[in-house]
Structure 1
Amino acid sequence: MTIETERLRDRVAAELLRTRDRTTLLTEAVDDGDLVAQHSPLMSPLVWDLAHVGNQEELWLVRDVGGREPVRQDIDELYDAFQHARRDRVALPLLNPAEARRYVAQVRDKALDVLGRARLDQGRRLVADGFAFGMIVQHEQQHDETMLATHQLRSGPPVLSASPPPAPSTPVTGEVLVPGGPFTMGTSTEAWALDNERPAHQVVVPAFHIDRAAVTNAQYAAFIDAGGYDDPRWWSTAGWDHRQAAGLVAPAHWQRDGSSFVATTFGRTEPIAADEPVVHVCYYEAAAYAKWAGKRLPTEAEWEKAARFDPATGRSRRFPWGDASPSPSQANLGQQHLRPAAAGAFPDGASPLGVHQLIGDVWEWTSSDFHGYPGFAPFPYREYSEVFFGPGYKVLRGGSFGTDGSAVRGTFRNWDYPIRRQIFSGFRCARDA
């Protein structure tokens, strides 16, 4: 084994353990009654997510990479996300909390043993550079963010706590001009990049302006106060139909309090913070605000160029600030804080063009449908990305305060239905140059 392979093995082990610590925090914060309850038909019971991350780890690391005997083959169908809709999972004969905890612990012991024996520097593409292990880390972190969203939807007293995000250290207003021309979108070199991020390819983007910061609560409240939810001029036909059918009048979790608004966040109801990014808005709401403001949502390619393109070198970075993985001074990630930070709170994370907080805080809606890149090839299974391609899903970029640094980068692509608001979603605006 080379020194580099041993370092990779140590890194993978640390990421697996760090991720499990977060899963444990999210599932130990509530009692067993909350774990088995369905807090929203949009979400699974927390205990389903817990056993599901263990089942995926068993399928890929224990059985596939390790070639070991199954731990619990009898539960594969219960925890197959394509077999049962979220709203139906509460009625399944799921493992109870104690059984789920024992199961994921047993799987983890075997997975770490597999890691200790796996050849990460050669052989199958699935194992090379630790990809299968990185895929499982990202998968569990994605479910941790899903569980965090479930916590936001549960009723009752607060059970999660975190320090407030840092205050802004520099004013961030207005917009920047992103020059037209080609840039490299996607990646062919990021070791743990998922299939929909691949391959790297050149895209020519005309010049455009993009907001330096995400749209704030105060800006969005002005849209509401101006009658934005009552005027079909600002809404697409599908958006207006949904606004009426769903009775949308404000972002999820907002309530009127006299002439202003309060929001309930993880069990705490407080006045909205005027300078923090608006969160829990759907694509249709974001697009309506942008039109009202005389702008539009950026395309996915525009968003990525604003986040990655360095005009001084002409190359695409891994992150807006460079190629190093995120640090706490660069981005609001990993539920270090339980809400988005105000614009200007992370100046170290700005892009070369001066666009702030593109990574972390809120997932940002783009105007693009979810499709594969030219030359896309599903790996290691079609159900991760390919089955979702089409006009039914819109792309979100950048991660949120609930996204872990291992599960987001400048090329990372998220997608969801345009009506979804339970995710930690916001947006910024763009316009043609």
Structure 2
Amino acid sequence: MTFYRPKPRTEPRPAQRPARPDTVEESGLHARGSAHELSSAPAEPPPGSIHARGGAQSSFEPREEAPREEKPREEKPRPALLEETPRQDLPEAPADSYAEFGCEVNALAPDRLLDHYARSRLLYAEKAARLEPFMPLVLDNWERAAAAGSSLLRVVFRRTPDDGLASMATWRCTWTCWHAQHLVGSGPPEAVRAVILASQKTTMREGRFGAVQMWFRPDHPYMGRVFGTLGEWMPPGTGSVEPGDYLMVPLPVARSLADPDDHDASTTEWDGAGACAELASLAVRTRGVLYARAEELWTDDLLLTALDLLYRRVGLRRRRRIWLHPDERGRLSGAALAHEGPLGLNLSLLENRLDLLVDPGLDAARAERVVRRLLPRACEAYESFPLGAIPVATDARTGRFLRAAGAEPVAPYSRAIWLAEGYADFYRHIDELYGRPGAGAASERRAGP
């Protein structure tokens, strides 16, 4: 399978498209201790932004924004998002952690990278067919993200003597968390070891990213062995594996879940005003502490405003809309977190997933009622989504209900999360694992999503 480059644009790209900013300072977001400021944030949300409540549409393609009148804003200090984690002690290494492992970063053209994914069967026929109508946009999104240097996307790869290739991509999903994905390799296992360790050591040396997450299929023998046991060998509280279900819910199916006789008006969209302790508490009950931390649900930037500014500098978006549903006592019993990102940055479309959180303490009937109230509301965020469906990540019980309602199952996925406090332990474990006989047989080293 060979993919093509994007067709030439009918209009020139914006002149302000930047050269590759490799540091926070160059990008206009300045880290100061444990906090960061938005040095050039807009005075108010742009038209169509998710930061305005109700009626806003998500955009899945770069677009020019209409000029708007600037209004004065009150300057106030911005609280910390996450405490920066101290640098881990490592043996002396060259300044370029990638070169130390014989790796390169962001040096493959997007079409060549996707050819590599197709040859390795990571991009299998069903997944390729879903993306094929949008492939020009997908390739353009990868090209734009890579144009930000190492700020948004890092595709680390190592060539092997037999013309093989091992690679792993990571992209910035929240201000302090990287989403690792698409770990594939051919040739000796040392090449796969190299791309994992090079990526991890670089993150450790930077000292400003608090978490990494990796989604994988739990029945995959290689990924199950490498990442599925992460919660067993990481220090307590620094690593976890969260099982879940992943489905495509067609928009008509999602809308049909609404009960016309249910006039409950308690489901509301979060307006972005500060932090939401109730949401963080629900996230801990449903997905665990590490999920809440990696997704920055204890911060005042729940809508990813700061990160969106970085993506906007290369003509992309990364933002989030949130709907909350309390029970009759006012306690939050469900939430829908709709993410928007560059289409196809993850080949399973996880960059645009909706995290559907339902309190596990509810009985089946109450849990179903929460879903029926949340999912139809969340359709607002996906009206312009090209696939005409919502990629939903949720728990197994909710997944069964959605499949019965007409959702298309994609796969059960587990999400491994490891925090900065455990980066050195993760590094050592991977290093030791690949030193064992038979580690990472070539026939197994194809992993998704």
The TM tier, using the shorter chain, reads under 0.3
Which of structures 1 and 2 has the larger relative contact order (alpha carbons within 8 angstroms, sep 6+)?
2
Query: What TM-score, normalized by structure 2, do the two folds share?
Result: 0.25
Query: What TM-score, normalized by structure 1, do the two folds share?
Result: 0.26
Q: Which has the higher helix share?
A: 1
